[in-house]
Chains A and B, each alone.
Chain A
Amino acid sequence: MASITGSVEIEVRRPRRGVIVGVLLVAWVAAWFVLRGINTLALGGQETTGLHRWLTDQRDFLGGGNAVLDAIRVAVDQLVILLQAVIAQPSYGRPVPVIGWLGVVAVAAYLAWAFGNWKVAVLTAAGLTFLGLQGLWQESMDTLSLTIAAVLLALLVGIPLGIWAGLSDRIFKVATLILDLMQTLPTFVYLAPLTLFFAIGPAAATIATLIYAAPPVVRLTAHAIRSVPRESVEAARSLGSSGGQTLFKVLLPMSRSTVVVGINQTIMAALSMVTVAALIDAPGLGQTVLKALQTLDVGVAFNAGLAIVVLAIVLDRVTTAAGDRPWRTASLRRKVLLGAGAVGALVAVWFSRTYVWAAEFPTGANVGSTIAVAAADVTGWVQDVFGGFTYGVRDAVTKGVLNPLEALLTESPWWLVAVVIVALAALLGSWRGAVPAAICLGLLVATGVWHDSMITLASTLLATVVVVAVGIVLGVWTGRNHRADSWLRPVLDAGQTMPPFVYLVPFLALFGTSRFTAIAAAVVFAVPVTTKIVADGIRAVPVATVEAANSVGSSTWQVISKVQLPVARRAITLAVNQGLIYVLSMVVVGGLVGAGALGYDVAAGFAQSELYGKGLAAGLAIVLLGVMLDRITQAAARRTRKFKGKVRGDNLW
């Protein structure tokens, strides 16, 4: 999201701004006492507005029979089927895929070694073998095929777009808006129409994944291009390079490592779509998760979720290693080794085509059922031990914080809420905050789901505050402590890629069906990304700065609060933004566990055809909330920014 471009700001500090905000809030509460209950624009669960019914009627308008769409569908279908034939499904008249498990493991490890290093090669081999041991080889390969197809297409479209947005300011602005939309519009809103455009099959699933997964690589490529120092570009120009030469000889090589981070995030996003895509018959691990959840089988769902996490960790580490590898011509020794490795991989492929044991993963050692039983036992134990306590926490937080906040937002007349929010935005971020806020609020009223939007807004605000607080604490800790980082990172990766559906059942057992449950799930999903960005920002604080503070006898707390956090401020702003986006992308999942409001509207619109329009409107309302909060926080950050200069975190997203 954060389209923070480096710019110098003059410090504008108004010490009394806090007081004004306080007065405004007190006035709001006072007005609420008088006016509550009128003009709240509440709309019942099955009720719709004229706009909703109109949107429902438009649903099939574009569907089917379009030559361009058909061509795209056929091409994407063929790509996925080809990949599946190679590694996942019986193909070409043989009872097994073209390359059996041994061949896949060997080739993957070889590639990891060639493009990364031997450590990630070992990790790759171990990770993929583990998938087989879990008893999920074929499902994993199906998921991998679809992921590879979606990521390849995302790169094919995303990198050129990113370059374009990197070179042109106008395109950059338009792209940012569209990418915000792609990332916050709930998938459920476009899942059903996609199957109309692209029919049921691999193409629709791939394209649904693509829509959600492409934004990071576009953003990162654009940012990478934009952050190449001006001098380098000017030097190239002055030596007479053409536009194309500058791009290919200067801009792209200098952006390489950041672009790889973008590819990496695109892969992560693609994997987080596995379960949702399974709703339109995407093959693979998502099916296993969904099937298990029909019977609330937490163990089996966890086993499959774990496989997704393992795939994510392997792909993440390999792409990271590839990005870090210095770009130089290989030495003769390395060339010989690479050749030998290639021969070894080919031998393994030959084996996997010849012998059954190397083609189909042996079923003897099924670790999967052990993992499933253990996971189910642990969940049961946690539920029994903490059950009562967690309900207490839920009730305290709900009654103490959430209910009052929600009452203030939902029971006030809509115009009062709108006036207060615009005033707050103006105070915190001047016109840059106020204008987008006013536009978004106007559109929110137009969607007809104002009341539900305010319920969702209350939960979103609370969840984001928790996410930012936890993210900063963990981020500072891992940013300062290398060991903590290496220990925590797999946990964070798991939080990001474990399908939320897997931990919803235990969460439901712990907290019941409630808004609090939804908030807890959103926190689990959003904390990792916040932590990673904060840690990155802390690590980028120059060592000299920290040492200077230490040398004058600052305590650890002083170093953190007076030096590291202020210097990493831009990274923290970015972390707040991303935390918010991730919380909002969990709104629909929250709707499935009792948060109701917009999330439920979207889910119901997906399932009941007569509510489709309302679901779409609710999806747009989520986007509007996201854009509004994002613009306000960015404008606020712009006004209070004290430090200038580039921070590594800025290059992320």
Chain B
Amino acid sequence: MVTNKLRSAGVLTALALALTACGGAKVGEADKPATSGGKECGTFNLAVSPWVGYEANAAVVGYVATKELGCKVVKKNLKEEISWQGFSTGEVDAILENWGHEDLKKKYITDQKVAVEAGPSGNKGVIGWYLPPWLAAAQPELKDWKNLNKAAAQFKTSESGGKGQLLDGDPSFVTNDEALVKNLKLNYKVVYAGSETALIQAFRDAEKNKKPVIGYFYEPQWFFNELKLVKVDLPAYTAGCDAVPEKVACDYPAYELDKIVSKKFADSGSPAYELVKKFNWTNDDQNVVAKYIAEDKLTPDAAAEKWVKENQSKVDAWLGK
């Protein structure tokens, strides 16, 4: 035991000696990052919610704010609900992709007056029922909800209790599917997959092994770069048809995804606020950046840089140049 201790001490000493012998670049010799000029921006607290599309928005806005406006961008990785809470505690300046959330708007914009809307992001959100491409090609009639009952048997699984399985539920999204199934008299059972991961894996598996699956999904989503899911036509949405949750028998409305900022940030006159307000791009734009991040494995910054270089004119418009 003692010899062992001696040995380890010896190793340590030898290591120390060896280290003394070699050198290398010293800490602090590298040039410090130059602070770019322009108007004073200060710290810009950007909420980043856990999906790739959002991250694409945040990457590009964060990149432009840092490079062009000299802001110190602090990205905070937060679930949506918690981002909104951040408005009242002053720790979040902006949300860049908001899906509806009328209840939160009421609470934080109307009631507490700590947040304000900053206009649409240009992205269009679609929610609905989707089929894997092979199934839509093999049985195109399934694209109409009226034919779903005839095909219910093939969607049976161990979870669906003898009915067809309608795979639901990223818990972040409101779903009317239980009411829809009931009111459209479909012979299906809603099974809660419980996470986006589970939904994507189910669609991936279905396409690869040619299994029938029907499930709740949404666009824009990076996964569409990998697999072009096909939307099922439900009875068309008309204004107010989803007013009473238990009686819903129509499709989901199209969402104009928008941006929300804290009241304080909006009043601060920060150039970052102007950027957020003017930021606007298409689903295709977002999908490109999302693909860089999700499939080409670029860091958000590198993905943003690549896109900005290719789309300088759009960026200039946001900056009011």
Contact = CB atoms under 8 A, between A and B. Distances in A.
Interface of A: 44-46, 64, 94-96, 100, 102, 106, 110, 113, 118, 121-122, 191-192, 195-196, 199-201, 278-281, 287, 290, 293-297, 333-334, 337, 340-341, 343-345, 347-348, 351, 353-359, 387, 394-395, 398-399, 403, 504-505, 508-509, 512-516, 591-596, 599-600, 603-604, 606-610
Given A512-B205, A608-B174, A337 B9 contact: yes
B159 A296 contact: no
Interface stretch (B49-57, B253-261, B277-285): B49-57
B157 A514 contact: yes
Given A607-B80, A610-B103, 20 more contacts: A64-B88, A96-B27, A110-B12, A195-B85, A278-B77, A280-B79, A280-B82, A295-B222, A297-B297, A340-B12, A341-B9, A344-B16, A356-B24, A356-B27, A505-B197, A513-B193, A514-B159, A591-B171, A603-B194, A608-B172
By size class, the interface of chain B is 35 or more
A344 B85 contact: no
Interface string B191-222: 11111111111101100010000000000001
A504 to B, nearest CB: 7
B172 A508 contact: no
24 contacts: A64-B89, A106-B12, A122-B8, A191-B82, A195-B85, A196-B85, A278-B77, A279-B50, A279-B77, A279-B78, A294-B52, A340-B13, A341-B9, A344-B15, A351-B19, A354-B26, A356-B25, A359-B27, A509-B201, A512-B157, A591-B171, A594-B191, A603-B195, A607-B172
Contacts of A118: 4-5, 7-8
Contacts of B89: 64, 196, 199-200
Most buried by A among B4, B19, B80, B103: B19
B269 to A, nearest CB: 24
A279 B197 contact: no
A75 B108 CA distance: 29
B28 A607 contact: no
Nearest to B176: A46
Contacts of A347: 16, 19-20
Contacts of B20: 347
A608 B171 contact: yes
A297 B15 CA distance: 39
A594 B193 contact: yes
Contacts of B26: 354-356
A596 B192 contact: yes
Contacts of B28: 94-95
Most buried by B among A64, A95, A354, A508: A508
A504 B196 CA distance: 12
Given A95-B28, A281-B76, A399-B158, A593 B50 contact: no
Contacts of A192: 79, 81-82, 85
B260 to A, nearest CB: 14
B85 A357 contact: no
Contacts of B209: 387
Nearest to B4: A118
Interface of B: 2, 4-9, 12-13, 15-16, 19-20, 23-30, 32, 50-52, 55, 76-82, 85-86, 88-89, 91-92, 103-104, 107, 157-159, 161, 167-169, 171-179, 190-202, 204-205, 209, 222, 245, 293-295, 297
A110 B205 CA distance: 50
Contact of B174 (A46, A295, A345): A46
A280 B47 CA distance: 11
Q: Which 5 A/B pairs are nearest by Cβ-Cβ distance?
A: A344-B12, A604-B171, A592-B195, A295-B294, A607-B172
B197 A592 contact: yes
A505 B27 contact: no
B194 A593 contact: yes
B55 A509 contact: no
Given A337-B6, A340-B9, A513-B202, A354 B103 contact: no
B198 A45 contact: no
Given A200-B76, A348-B19, A593 B178 contact: no
Contacts of B172: 607-608
Contacts of B13: 340, 344
B194 A591 contact: yes
Contacts of B178: 44-46
A126 to B, nearest CB: 13
Contact of A606 (B9, B79, B167, B179): B79
A513 B77 contact: no
A102 B16 CA distance: 11
Contacts of B50: 279, 290, 294
A645 B127 CA distance: 63
Most buried by A among B82, B103, B171, B202: B171
A513 B198 contact: yes
Contacts of B9: 337, 340-341, 344
B158 A395 contact: yes
Nearest to A45: B178
A354 B27 CA distance: 5
A604 B16 CA distance: 55
A355 B81 contact: no
A46 B175 contact: yes
A593 B25 contact: no
Most buried by A among B107, B159, B176, B200: B159
A600 B168 CA distance: 11
A333 B245 contact: no
A395 B158 CA distance: 6
Given A356-B24, A594-B193, A294 B55 contact: yes
A281 B202 contact: no
Given A294-B51, A596-B192, A606 B171 contact: yes
Contact of B92 (A200, A297, A344, A591): A200
A607 B193 CA distance: 15
A363 to B, nearest CB: 14
A508 B198 contact: yes
A351 B16 CA distance: 9
A600 B171 contact: yes
Most buried by B among A45, A200, A201, A403: A200
A463 B108 CA distance: 42
A344 B193 CA distance: 55
A609 B103 contact: yes
Contact of B194 (A354, A355, A595): A595
A239 B219 CA distance: 78
A341 B12 contact: yes
A592 B199 CA distance: 10
B139 to A, nearest CB: 21
Given A45-B175, A592-B195, A195 B82 contact: yes
A295 B169 contact: no
B103 A296 contact: no
B5 A513 contact: no
Given A196-B85, A351-B19, A395-B158, A357 B194 contact: no
Given A192-B82, A505-B197, A592-B194, A287 B16 contact: no
